């Protein structure tokens, strides 16, 4: 956290921090010559800290932003931006920040009252001050779809991703340990490794047939992602890696429906909320795609439930995730089913797109690729069996590669939170009730926060931090705090396992157009993933 004090008060400030149990960390110059920024770690709550800067606060009205009109708010001025494209929202926000600066307010009919910030200190303040009640922007279209599901399937409880407040807290507190405990996730490592090894054979076949990956290699990664996440969500394989999988197979229908759900939500959530007044074509299509996914996924969930019921009372095998959740007090069957559905639909797009970006960056940075391969060779040595948790624990460069990829190609713009009290951000007093959006994507490209920001430098994340300390709130690919992505450890393990097996066997190259991002609720690669994978020569 950073607070501004007049220079003459610094000794008194440090003494006060010591008395309050804080730990003085560092002092840096503030933007005005008469100020210093004091960075510290303390047990003092955000509510106690905020009054200390009240004398320097600017009013909310002083925050810059597009012109606002009655009824339509900032809608007309925003429409004039060339980059106003719901498929390229990062370019739109880039223009907005360039014109209005790092703190911007805007008003759009149908959307929450919004302030966007580009400071990691502000991000930290927001997360800490909303920790007990983290209300984030609701995916209202998906909530509407689930409230109208056939036979009231969701029983008016629409799931962890969508809900806020007490309903969110009720489910989150009960699924936190089963989903996030490292031991629980690592129990699936050997099976994930088998999926990755099978996928390496598919890569080999594509390479031999075409000399590179096919135009639709992203679809192949969707298959890998669904096969991997189903191991955890359903406790079994779905058969996504079968050769010549039919386009009308249940596996491909799940993939296409998940893609369409993300695309549909992006189009609806980024547009005027006419669907709240009448049932639009876009909303009907979202309902159709969601119902298709639900139909197939529910069938698979019931199959897993039937298998669990057949287990003998004296069976001492480890509980599968679904089994553990079903036995958790305070969770209904529909709570568990909804969570499993969300794991499946979210797990297809997110991990596969991340992997596409990581492979692209490794292909464009052969020295980093070689360093990663050297680490993998050193850690695995002559090991012939499945990957073990101890192997991944030793691969610090592997994790740095993934973190650096998330910095350059994040899946989202940042974190959104509704303020639960009046809060000072970048010197402005933001009223309670405003939705504040942290533009971490642009913090990640800030040279003052990340030297050599345009370069792919995984080393910056290593323990000795060769490029200097990294603000813990500057890059948040999985969010942070009590609302951090519940599937984080699962997704990371999937990605690590794939990369270990790919880099152990292949060199990856990419000879085509530079990669950008397309918005589909989350960001996806803009170009076909036509990688070349060549077998490594062993000495």
For the four alpha carbons of 531, 537, 538 and 539, in that order, the dihedral sign comes to negative
Give 503 or 110, the one with higher predicted confidence.
503
Q: Is residue 10 part of a domain?
A: yes
Q: Is residue 77 part of a domain?
A: no
Look at the block and give the residue holding tokens 């009205």: 61
Please state which of the ranges 51-60, 235-244, 335-344 shows the lowest mean pLDDT. 51-60
What's the rounded mean pLDDT across residues 447-461?
A: 98
Q: Is residue 96 part of a domain?
A: no
Q: Which two tokens stand for residue 1?
A: 């956290």
Cα radius of gyration (the chain)? 24
Range of the domain at 6: 1-44
Question: What is the pLDDT at residue 454?
Answer: 97
What's the rounded mean pLDDT across residues 21-36?
A: 35
Please state which of the ranges 16-25, 308-317, 338-347, 515-524 shows the lowest mean pLDDT. 16-25
Read off the pLDDT band of 107 (50, 70, 90). confident
Asked if 2 and 121 count as a contact pair (C-beta separation under 8 A), the reply is yes
How many Cβ atoms sit within 10 Å of the Cβ of residue 23? 10
Q: Is residue 127 part of a domain?
A: no
Q: Return the CATH number at 491.
A: 1.10.630.10
Instruction: Specify whether 161 is located in the same domain as 34.
Output: no
Question: What is the pLDDT at residue 70?
Answer: 80
Cα of 127 vs its chain's centroid, Å: 16
Q: Which two tokens stand for residue 16?
A: 């006060």
Closest CA to 450 of 120, 95, 53, 177: 120
Question: What is the pLDDT at residue 83?
Answer: 66
pLDDT tens for 380-411 read: 999 999 999 999 999 999 999 999 999 999 99
Question: Could you give the 3-state DSSP secondary structure of residue 499?
Answer: helix
pLDDT surpasses 90 at 303: yes
Please state which of the ranges 47-56, 202-211, 254-263, 419-428 shows the lowest mean pLDDT. 47-56
Q: Is residue 519 part of a domain?
A: yes
Instruction: Specify whether 358 is located in the same domain as 488.
Output: yes
Asked if 262 and 255 count as a contact pair (C-beta separation under 8 A), the reply is no
Instruction: Specify whether 394 is located in the same domain as 530.
Output: yes
Asked if 65 and 100 count as a contact pair (C-beta separation under 8 A), the reply is yes
pLDDT tens for 479-489 read: 999 999 999 99
Say what angle helices 396-408 and 333-364 make with each other, to 10 degrees: 90
CA dihedral of 325, 327, 333, 335, whole degrees rounded to 10? -40
Q: Is residue 387 part of a domain?
A: yes
Instruction: Specify whether 37 is located in the same domain as 145.
Output: no
Question: What is the pLDDT at residue 317?
Answer: 81
Q: How many domains does the chain have?
A: 2
Predicted model pTM: 0.88
Instruction: Specify whether 306 is located in the same domain as 202.
Output: yes
pLDDT surpasses 90 at 211: yes
Among residues of the chain, what percentage have pLDDT more than 70? Answer: 89
What's the rounded mean pLDDT across residues 408-432?
A: 96
- Calculate the average pLDDT of the chain: 88
Put residue 429 in one of left, alpha, beta given phi > 0 → left and psi -120 to 50 → alpha.
Answer: beta
Q: Is residue 118 part of a domain?
A: no
What's the rounded mean pLDDT across residues 76-94?
A: 79
Q: Is residue 53 part of a domain?
A: no
Give 22 or 121, the one with higher predicted confidence.
121
What's the rounded mean pLDDT across residues 57-77?
A: 85
Question: What is the pLDDT at residue 50?
Answer: 55
Question: What is the pLDDT at residue 76?
Answer: 67
Distance (Å, rounded) from C-alpha 247 to C-alpha 187? Answer: 32
Distance (Å, rounded) from C-alpha 41 to C-alpha 21? Answer: 9
Question: What is the pLDDT at residue 539?
Answer: 60
Instruction: Specify whether 146 is located in the same domain as 37.
Output: no
Instruction: Specify whether 289 is located in the same domain as 422.
Output: yes
């Amino acid at each position: 956290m950073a607070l501004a004090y007049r220079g003459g008060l610094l000794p008194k400030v440090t003494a006060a921090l010591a008395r309050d149990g804080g730990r003085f960390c560092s002092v840096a110059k503030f933007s005005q010559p008469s100020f210093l920024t004091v960075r510290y770690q303390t047990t003092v709550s955000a509510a106690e800290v905020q009054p200390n800067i009240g004398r320097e606060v600017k009013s909310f009205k002083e925050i810059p932003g597009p012109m606002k009109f009655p009824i339509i708010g900032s809608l007309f001025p925003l429409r004039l931006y060339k980059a106003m494209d719901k498929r390229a929202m990062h370019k739109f926000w880039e223009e907005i920040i360039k014109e209005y600066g790092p703190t911007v307010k805007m008003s759009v009919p149908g959307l929450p009252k919004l302030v966007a910030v580009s400071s990691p200190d502000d991000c930290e303040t927001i997360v800490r001050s909303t920790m007990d009640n983290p209300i984030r922007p609701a995916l209202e279209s998906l909530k509407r779809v689930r409230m109208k599901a056939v036979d009231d399937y969701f029983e008016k409880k629409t799931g962890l991703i969508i809900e806020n407040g007490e309903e969110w807290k009720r489910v989150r507190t009960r699924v936190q340990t089963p989903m996030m405990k490292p031991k629980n996730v690592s129990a699936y490592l050997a099976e994930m490794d088998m999926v990755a090894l099978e996928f390496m054979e598919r890569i080999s076949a594509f390479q031999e047939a075409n000399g590179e990956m096919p135009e639709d290699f992203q679809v192949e990664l969707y298959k890998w992602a669904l096969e991997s996440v189903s191991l955890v969500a359903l406790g079994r394989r779905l058969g996504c890696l079968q050769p010549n999988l039919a386009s009308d197979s249940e596996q491909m229908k799940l993939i296409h429906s998940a893609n369409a759900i993300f695309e549909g939500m992006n189009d609806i959530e980024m547009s005027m909320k006419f669907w709240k007044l009448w049932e639009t074509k876009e909303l009907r299509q979202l309902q159709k795609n969601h119902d298709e996914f639900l139909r197939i996924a529910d069938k698979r969930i019931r199959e897993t439930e039937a298998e669990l019921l057949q287990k003998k009372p004296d069976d001492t095998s480890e509980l599968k995730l679904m089994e553990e959740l079903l036995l958790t007090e305070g969770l209904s069957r529909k709570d568990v089913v909804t969570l499993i559905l969300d794991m499946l639909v979210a797990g297809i797009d997110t991990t596969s797109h991340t992997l596409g970006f990581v492979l692209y960056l490794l292909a464009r940075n052969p020295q980093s690729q070689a360093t990663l391969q050297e680490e993998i060779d050193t850690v695995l040595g002559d090991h012939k069996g499945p990957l073990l948790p101890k192997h991944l624990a030793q691969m610090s460069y592997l994790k740095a590669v993934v973190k650096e990829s998330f910095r350059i190609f994040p899946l989202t713009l940042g974190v959104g939170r509704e303020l639960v009290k009046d809060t000072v951000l970048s010197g402005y007093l933001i009223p309670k009730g405003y939705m504040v959006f942290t533009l971490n994507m642009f913090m990640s490209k800030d040279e003052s926060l990340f030297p050599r920001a345009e370069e792919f430098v995984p080393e910056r994340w290593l323990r000795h931090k060769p490029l200097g300390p990294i603000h813990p709130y500057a890059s948040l690919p999985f969010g942070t705090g009590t609302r951090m992505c519940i599937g984080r450890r699962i997704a990371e393990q999937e990605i690590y396992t794939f990369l270990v097996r790919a880099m152990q066997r292949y060199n990856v190259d990419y000879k085509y157009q530079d990669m950008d991002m397309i918005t589909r609720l989350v960001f996806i690669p803009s170009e076909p993933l036509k990688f070349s994978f060549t077998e490594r020569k062993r000495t």
